[in-house]
Amino acid sequence: MSRALRALVLSFALFPSSIAAAQAQGTQQNDLPPGVYMGEADYKQAPAGAYTLDPDHASVIARVSHLRYSWSIFRFDRPSGTLKWDPVNTANSSITAKVETASITSNVKGFAQELSGNNFLKSAAFPEATFVSTAFRQMSTRRGKVDGQLTLMGKTKPVTFDVELVGAGKGFADRPRIGVSATGSINPVDFGLPPLFGDAIEIVIDVEFQKDA
């Protein structure tokens, strides 16, 4: 066996143990400050109780068709919300969330102000979009659906979000955390937005909730 082939065989033999070592190193808590814990892929690591959205670790994105040429990405910078969490029976959980519509941002110069104005979101008259859950439906240990009522520009319609657990655990400062990623879609015309948008608007939410003290 040539030296190159021998090295190749050895690298494959060591590959699984290298992966295991890297994974073990990634889950160690020793390198973190005292009282700070990594999240785990287990929703039961977040104890039951009332949680509040952490605005420093939250993102609300709207993906809007740009005349069917591409997707325009808009971000809302001021979300807030509360979560009533029950890991024993997730169907007992509920969430209420809102976002300030005037906090929309765009990389197109001046377009954010136009979007929040009277031609689109009418933020002066309708400063907030709200979501109130009506059902939590657990599909697996990592995924579920949250049904609810979305109110935007004075109109309320049912919306379902597909939710995936990112991590749950002890968090830090003695405040457990749970983080999720959620996606849903709305028909813009249903909420009074102009038909210019045409296709469905996808909403993507990445957020952490921290247990109330």
Phi then psi dihedrals of residue 205, to 5 deg: -125, 125
Amino acid identity of 83?
A: L
Is residue 138 within a helix (H) or strand (E), and if so which, with residue range? strand 128-138
pTM for the whole thing? 0.84
What pLDDT is recorded for position 128? Answer: 98
**Whether residue 126 sits in one domain with residue 92:** yes
- CA angle, corner 41, sides to 39 and 42, nearest 5? 100
Using DSSP's 3-state secondary structure scheme, residue 212 falls into coil
74-91 pLDDT per residue, tens? 999 999 999 999 999 999
**Whether residue 191 sits in one domain with residue 170:** yes
Q: Is residue 12 part of a domain?
A: yes
**Whether residue 129 sits in one domain with residue 64:** yes
**Whether residue 196 sits in one domain with residue 108:** yes
Query: The domain containing residue 14 runs over which residues?
Result: 1-30
46-58 pLDDT per residue, tens? 999 999 999 999 9
Q: Is residue 35 part of a domain?
A: no
Summarize the confidence of residues 95-111 as an average pLDDT. Answer: 96
**Whether residue 71 sits in one domain with residue 158:** yes
Dihedral (CA of 40, 90, 146, 74) sign: negative
The token duo for 87 is 């890991």
The token duo for 66 is 């740009």
The token duo for 13 is 């033999």
